[in-house]
Structure 1
Amino acid sequence: MSFIDHAKNPYASLSPAVWRGSTVVFDSFEDFVARKSRQPDGYSYGITGTPTARGLEQRIAQLENGKHCIVTPSGQSALMTTVMGFIRTGDHILVSDSCYGGLKAFAQYWLEKLGVDVEFYPPTIDSGIEQLIKSNTKMICLEAPGTVTMEMQDIDAITAVAKRHGVLTMMDNTWASPLYFRPLDHGVDFSIEAATKFFGGHSDVLMGSISMNNADHYSLLRETQSILGQQASPEDCFLVLRGLETLNVRLKEQCGNALQIAQWLDQQPMVKQVLFPALPSDPGHAIWRKHFQGNGCLFSMILQPADESALGAFFNALKHFPIGASWGGTHSLIAYYPASQQLARAFSPTSEPIIRISIGLEDPATLIEDLQNALQTYERARR
């Protein structure tokens, strides 16, 4: 998309303008009275966006091969806004057991108290999810791969079941991004991206997006955004627009490096298992290879058994991996998820501690050297 239009704007720039403002003014009494008719695309109050937000929404919709998009202040807010737009007391909602923890907590500790029938399902159930559909099932929440344990889901199989029963589907697609997988092309109703990650790309902004094709869904969610106050700031929209300019080159480099490092880790004696669908050894590899055009920069691993002090020695030996829970930025990150977290899940593939790694733009040889030193430290500490 070009931001240059010399015919309409005597000041043309390669950068989009940052439109700030909370209040929209109107030309007449009649125009003000009819202000709600401007939605869902127009402007009636700052809570539903400025031209900067609309520019970002158009860019993301193009990436997703969708007709409509709404941006929100975070990936979590995008998930919650979508659910709140359609789920009511008495509805049944199916949530993947491996999805983002914030969505699971919202479903379990808020939706259930609001009278919603929340059911967590095994992420690898695929077409078997039909057995869980009830007369009041309203939505299925997917994420592929899972946010920590990396289970793949057969999206085509699940959306086929959902369509037969008139059930909505929402998928968190942040891991692959629309460059490597487009949920809307596979029958998903709402494609969610934590733009905090790949779209922003530099670990300095929070943002979420909801993309869709159905105009009625779009209108309802724009109204939901207004009611819940889920608007992103123009400055943050600008940062994500700027991040999108380098999305393709960043993903190609980061995700290629991630595959190289995951393959190396898969051969290390202190590594019990690498959880990464792009590896042939991963249980979800066949589904990933069939439907995805590439891999993300995020994967997990399980080390050979040891106590937590040895895990502490591993982390404290790292020099190039900051410890942090986010991912997708230009800097590599590493995070720890204790065994208790896996044991608390209903359908976890493991009961062991998990180390999750996000690969940035650093030299992969440097990162491998850092991991090798940490693994050697771990081996010494577990003796």
Structure 2
Amino acid sequence: MAQEEGRTGAQHNALSHTIGAGWRELATFLTHTARPEPTAEGRFVNYGVERGSTVLFPTIADLNNDGDKAHNHQLVYGAMGNPIQHELEKLLAELEGGTHTQVVGSGLAACTVPLLAFLNAGDHLLLPDSVYGPTRRFARRFLTRFGIETTFYPPMADEQTLQRLVTSKTAIIFAESPGSHTFEVQDIPMIARVAHAHGARLLLDNTWGIGAFKPFEHGVDVSIQALTKYPSGHSDVIIGAVTVAKEDDWLPLRNAAIEMGECASSDDCWLTLRGLRTMALRLERQAVSALEVAHWFKNRPEVVRVRHPAFPECPGHEFWKRDFTGASGLFGVELRSDITVEAMQRMMDGLTLFGIGASWGGYESLILPTTGGVTRNGTGGLPQGAAFRIHIGLENVADLTRDLEQAFHHLTT
């Protein structure tokens, strides 16, 4: 028994080391990229915040030469970008491995702007059934008004199943890996093969996998990020980004953003760029801490399932192991069938270190019930009983598990 426990402990330590490896590799890049060049007169370490709407030009000729500037991260007008936004976009494009990035006003806008940029009336869209809820609503409530048909496919669909769902009008296959709330890891290279064989684009919501998954090395055409989460890292910014793999896709994306008035304030871009400086350190810590807390849940008799991509029982674990260099601090937990939702809510109310609220990716730990709040078209994949999503912050793991321990008493009282 002791020998078995030793083996399990060694495996856990090895996984903890592996899960943070990708972040350690990014630390130097995030510290030194998009920094001001030193001058003979001296400069501050960081860029300043420049707020403005009107951009002044010395001559009419310079003013009229705005076509190329608008598509090359240069100043034209405040609504088309600001200096710190352009620096942020260059860093993100390099981080994701793409050609260009467009910063937008929110994570949801990062999902909707490329859909509007690359879909036309009468097109067909494939969305995973595990997609972020607001993206699902956008397709159902908005895209249908323009004759765009949406089919929801099983997130773990094999190649044959996906091929059957593609039509002659399919313009986009959308992926979200891991899936929202249920954490299925998708086979992105396979989905890319299917999309490209039919002349469609593959769009990926890569928010969970920022820095740990290289989208364009696996066939993705457009990568989506809610910068609200780990890049800003302090729960005080709403912002998003869209990165393209190919130059050919930059023009329609950029034009769509301009025509819809999509932009982000200088202050929000500055805060996000500042957050990125410490993201590698934060995410390495949070990923390892989350794994420890996930193991704590796994050993609890009240828990029947822990939805964490690093665990072999998580759907698509083999794809996570093959394609990712790390993990995030977000995962899901399902309780025994005899534990009621009311008991789970009492447990959550009894927590002192976990905030109850939406979003994730900040420095604080959060918890959110998922029972009854997740929509699926297909059968299967959803928790059968009381379940919640949990985000692990920067707190001491021992403090978090002690807090969970005392709160779990509410499950049986």
TM-score (norm 2): 0.88
Q: Is the 8 A contact 1:3 1:16 kept in 2?
A: yes
Higher mean displacement: 257-266 or 43-52: 43-52
Kindly state the Cα deviation for residue 45 of structure 1 after the two structures are TM-superposed. 1.5
Q: What is aligned with 1:139?
A: 172
Q: What is aligned with 1:374?
A: 407
1:20 and 2:51 are equivalent in the alignment: yes
Q: What is aligned with 2:67?
A: 36
Query: What is the distance in 2 between the residues matched to 1:141 and 1:352?
Result: 28
Kindly state the Cα deviation for residue 200 of structure 1 after the two structures are TM-superposed. 0.4
Q: Is the 8 A contact 1:342 1:348 kept in 2?
A: no
Q: Is the 8 A contact 2:336 2:385 kept in 1?
A: no
SS, match of residue 163 in structure 2: helix
1:46 and 2:46 are equivalent in the alignment: no
Query: What is the distance in 2 between the residues matched to 1:323 and 1:345?
Result: 27
Q: What is aligned with 1:157?
A: 190
Kindly state the Cα deviation for residue 21 of structure 1 after the two structures are TM-superposed. 1.2
Query: What is the distance in 1 between the residues matched to 2:35 and 2:183?
Result: 38
Q: What is aligned with 1:295?
A: 327
Kindly state the Cα deviation for residue 20 of structure 1 after the two structures are TM-superposed. 1.4
Query: Cα 1:172–1:343, aligned 2, differ >3 Å: closer, same or farther?
Result: closer
Q: What is aligned with 1:183?
A: 215
Kindly state the Cα deviation for residue 73 of structure 1 after the two structures are TM-superposed. 1.1
Query: What is the distance in 2 between the residues matched to 1:25 and 1:327?
Result: 40
Kindly state the Cα deviation for residue 223 of structure 1 after the two structures are TM-superposed. 1.2
Query: What is the distance in 2 between the residues matched to 1:193 and 1:30?
Result: 37
SS, match of residue 177 in structure 1: coil
Kindly state the Cα deviation for residue 47 of structure 1 after the two structures are TM-superposed. 1.5
Query: Which runs of 5 or more residues in structure 2 are unaligned?
Result: 1-32
Kindly state the Cα deviation for residue 239 of structure 1 after the two structures are TM-superposed. 0.3
1:168 and 2:201 are equivalent in the alignment: yes
Query: What is the distance in 1 between the residues matched to 2:91 and 2:191?
Result: 28
The one of 334, 343, 366 equivalent to 1:310 is 343
Kindly state the Cα deviation for residue 319 of structure 1 after the two structures are TM-superposed. 1.0
Q: Is the 8 A contact 1:319 1:370 kept in 2?
A: yes
Query: What is the distance in 1 between the residues matched to 2:233 and 2:102?
Result: 19
User: Cα deviation per residue 1:313-362 (whole Å; 9 max; x = unaligned)?
Assistant: 111111111101111111000001223x3465424412434200000000
Q: What is aligned with 1:232?
A: 264
Q: Is the 8 A contact 1:39 1:219 kept in 2?
A: no
Query: What is the distance in 2 between the residues matched to 1:208 and 1:71?
Result: 6
Q: Is the 8 A contact 2:54 2:77 kept in 1?
A: yes
- With a CA cutoff of 8 Å and minimum separation of 6, indicate the structure with the bigger relative contact order: 2
Amino acid at match of 1:308: V
SS, match of residue 331 in structure 2: strand
Query: Cα 1:6–1:373, aligned 2, differ >3 Å: closer, same or farther?
Result: closer
Superposed, 1:241-320 pairs within 5 Å as: 241-305=273-337, 306-320=339-353
Q: Is the 8 A contact 2:225 2:240 kept in 1?
A: yes
Query: What is the distance in 1 between the residues matched to 2:36 and 2:215?
Result: 31
Q: Is the 8 A contact 1:272 1:304 kept in 2?
A: yes
Query: What is the distance in 2 between the residues matched to 1:3 and 1:175?
Result: 26
Q: What is aligned with 2:140?
A: 108
Query: What is the distance in 2 between the residues matched to 1:344 and 1:57?
Result: 34
1:93 and 2:137 are equivalent in the alignment: no
Superposed, 1:344-383 pairs within 5 Å as: 344-350=376-382, 351-378=384-411, 380-381=412-413
Q: What is aligned with 2:24?
A: none
Query: What is the distance in 2 between the residues matched to 1:80 and 1:283?
Result: 27
SS, match of residue 10 in structure 1: coil
How many percent of aligned residue pairs carry the same amino acid?
37
Q: Is the 8 A contact 1:48 1:222 kept in 2?
A: no
CA RMSD of aligned residues (A): 1.5
Query: What is the distance in 2 between the residues matched to 1:293 and 1:225?
Result: 31
Amino acid at match of 2:286: Q
The one of 82, 86, 97 equivalent to 2:114 is 82
Query: What is the distance in 1 between the residues matched to 2:357 and 2:397?
Result: 19
SS, match of residue 355 in structure 2: coil
Amino acid at match of 1:29: I
Amino acid at match of 2:326: G
Amino acid at match of 2:48: A
Q: What is aligned with 2:157?
A: 125
Query: What is the distance in 1 between the residues matched to 2:284 and 2:58?
Result: 48
Kindly state the Cα deviation for residue 11 of structure 1 after the two structures are TM-superposed. 4.3
Query: What is the distance in 1 between the residues matched to 2:95 and 2:53?
Result: 28
SS, match of residue 50 in structure 2: coil
Query: What is the distance in 1 between the residues matched to 2:66 and 2:409?
Result: 65
TM-score (norm 1): 0.95
Query: Which runs of 5 or more residues in structure 1 are unaligned?
Result: none
Query: What is the distance in 2 between the residues matched to 1:284 and 1:364?
Result: 27
Q: Is the 8 A contact 2:55 2:77 kept in 1?
A: yes
Query: What is the distance in 1 between the residues matched to 2:57 and 2:314?
Result: 58
User: Cα deviation per residue 1:217-241 (whole Å; 9 max; x = unaligned)?
Assistant: 1121111111111101010000011
